[in-house]
Structure 1
């Protein structure tokens, strides 16, 4: 087929529908074309280099240019480029990966199911929760409780779990039966004089009241990220998840841990659940599972759920769920090699050690006039910009100050991202160096100074 345009930017504008983008603005702005990269850096088609402190989308855990992952993919392509997993079929890398994940799980898990994205994994978790309760002759348990400002993906179900306005606007979402309770925002959430432990108790009581209001017999599951990502990087109080688990156990409600971002070292542990005492019944993961070199995600379920749904599948004749690319052997081979690199290079321990480095370089930013809070753990940190440090007043959304700081960083060669509208995400690859962290903190400081000066000029 002949190309209609020879200019890549014109071709992109003419033919590419971009995700998470102002489509009308793209008609004039056009794309930034990423042409290559190495380690924690990428460069565009003009040759400009950027230090990537967002690891792609939280996910390039081994950085760019990892030869072992490229070789693992090439070997598997030559051996077996595709095999499906429907109807009792499998392949060697899929079997080994599912076994590895069950053995790495933070709490006992029984089975793993593979998909292609975190959204699909969370969608599958909800479907299995429904299947589980139908199997137990409680079909009324359909409602799913998530949290305000949560992000769980972009399928119709995953976007309904999500509580970010732009994910619902124009789509007629959320779907009925998806509820949201308060998130553990320890910066703005606690009342005056309230300790973090007391705040956690209040949130658990809110969840309990919501369940009782809706009727426990209508609730299937509660889903939560150990550390909230795209909603604003909120680290919970240490007592939060144990208290939440107590409430859920009171009513027999399932707990789904969304480890799509937190899994594989992001918080300094293999799983965010280990960092914050989460005891899930199901675990979803993606992103760093393959260092995002190929699309793959995983859902793990415990034995209680497995036994129940297995009996149901036997009674109806089949478990009627799956994806064409779920259990793709090449993706599984790359994920296996990624896990081996984590283990052989002790990268999870390294991420835990870099927590202090991130803290040392980012916490001084609290003194900046535009910064209200700096929070995080391991290699998952957020710098929140505010209009008033004393009152914690946020900038008006229309001012887009977080995006302005992020854009100023990008102009200076630093890739970060404003999440939740006003929090600059610092979530680098697990291979990041202290020198790179220091460089990034300096560039962010320069960007904050630039935007502060612009705001003063604009009054």
Structure 2
């Protein structure tokens, strides 16, 4: 590692950071993280904190998962790369596809298409949805539906179905034919409805209204997160996703569950869809599939969709999408080891227990600090605090104030993530009860600093 002075002097000078203004990064250099072990990270100055961000929703097993590291090293020694484009494959990716078939069997998903990450997975799923309908002779089904506040990556198709202006406006015009439905967001919604069940019903009615307006025969797929993540951790009422499933089935529209964040235990269930008892037609995954140790993702595909492709006699079923690193043997080896460890540790159970502890602690902080307008969570280890300058008006807090909360919280032992006026918490799923208390104590100090 270069010495500390070199790293600080060159911090952000020659590097543009995702989701950040280059000028902000120069004026406020990012924290330089140099070590990680367990659920802890250490910066260049030796300051050690609990990582309440979990890398970026993905380091479910922590930073010192030896079986995954060993699998990567062994695969590098054996076969560091080979393409799985038509005509060749590798042993690791075959083994992984079989394991994923078993893991996702309760979700009704049995085929895998491998990618390099979450945005790739979304792109592939949306493309496959259009292709599915073309194979079936319904070439007019080309439109997509999604939720406002939803996040589906940064590729052009994914950005087009994103429901947050922060990820769209600088790059518009995006893809035509993408339409957004109100999210079941009880704190802010166009219906001024605070009852979660009633709001779910209103959003479902809006979905069906949009389908009728567009014409079901023009719509390829609906894509949604079972619990909205980057949009501010918005869990729907239990009736919502089953309602979406029923409507999509009735109108012949494919349902794509975007589980780049929620798959592999984060919600307290092995998948977010399973949490609500829903079987999607396709599911996008990435992030925790390799614990963040290798860029890798997969689109999981249902038997029904798979049969349409596999029995095609027209040639339209030939897949014309893929990536150089699709099915990378090192990524596949990492995913195999990660899946085994994920199941061995039953991380979904710990996510449920520690998530409940964290959520209860955040609710207690809301009682203490007026700046906390809303607390969202209660579904595993994904929580959010929405900060306001006025509770009655729900006016979003200003950037310098939430920045002070962030900095003070970090200095007192917890790395948190700020997104707009939200603080998002997505720690590793191997978090201990004592780590939850550290996060809560650090947040308490952060809010005290602005009170």
TM-score w.r.t. structure 1 length?
Answer: 0.92
**8 A Cα contact 1:186 1:237, kept in partner:** no
Q: Secondary structure at the match of 2:389?
A: coil
Q: Hey, what does 1:46 align to over in structure 2?
A: 45
**What CA distance in whole angstroms lies between the structure 2 residues aligned with 1:186 and 1:28?**
36
CA distance in 1, matches of 2:262, 2:207: 23
Does the 8 Å CA contact 1:190/1:199 hold for their aligned counterparts?
no
Deviation at 1:260, TM superposition (A): 0.5
Residue of 387, 399, 412 corresponding to 2:389? 387
Note if contact 2:135-2:316 (Cα within 8 Å) is conserved in structure 1: no
Partner of 1:228: 228
| Cα deviation 1:303-361 (Å, max 9, x = unaligned) | 22112223448625842111110100111111111111112222222222223322332
Match of 1:73 in 2: 72
1:24 paired residue number: 23
Decide which moves more: 30-39 or 249-258: 30-39
Report what 2:238 is aligned to. 238
Aligned to 2:428, what secondary structure does the other structure show?
coil
Structure 1 unaligned blocks of 5 or more: 453-459
- Counterpart-to-counterpart distance in 2, 1:121 and 1:447: 37
Aligned to 2:422: 423
In the TM superposition, 1:298-317 aligns within 5 A as 298-312=298-312, 315=315
CA distance in 2, matches of 1:9, 1:324: 35
Does the C-alpha gap of structure 1 residues 31 and 189 become closer, same or farther in structure 2, counting only changes over 3 Å? Answer: closer
Q: Verify: 1:378 aligned to 2:384, yes or no.
A: no
SS in 1 for 2:323: coil
Note if 1:201 corresponds to 2:198.
no
Shift of 1:392: 5.4
Q: Post-superposition shift, 1:191?
A: 5.3
Give the SS at the match of 2:348: helix
Q: Is the 8 A contact 1:226 1:278 kept in 2?
A: no
The question of whether the paired residues in 2 share the 8 Å contact of 1:188 and 1:392 is answered with: no
For residues 169 and 9 of structure 1, the distance between their equivalents in structure 2, rounded to whole angstroms, comes to 33
Report how many residues are paired: 445
Q: How does 1:122-201 map to 2 (within 5 A)?
A: 122-189=122-189, 195-201=195-201
Question: Is 1:436 the equivalent of 2:438?
Answer: no
RMSD: 2.1
- Cα shift at 1:278: 2.7
Relative to structure 1, is the Cα distance of residues 29 and 188 closer, same or farther in structure 2, using a 3 angstrom cutoff?
closer
- The separation in 2 between residues aligned to 1:241 and 1:443, in whole angstroms, is 35
List per-residue Cα deviations over 1:115-162 (Å, max 9, x = no partner): 011000000000001111111222221111111111110111111111
Shift of 1:237: 0.2
Contact preservation (8 Å) 1:161, 1:174: no
- State the distance in 1 between where 2:95 and 2:264 align: 17
State the Cα deviation string for residues 274-328 of structure 1 (Å, max 9, x = none).
Answer: 1123321000111111111111111011122112223448625842111110100
1:257 aligns with 2:263: no
Corresponding residue number in structure 1 for 2:352: 352
Which secondary structure state, in structure 1, belongs to the residue aligned with residue 171 of structure 2?
coil
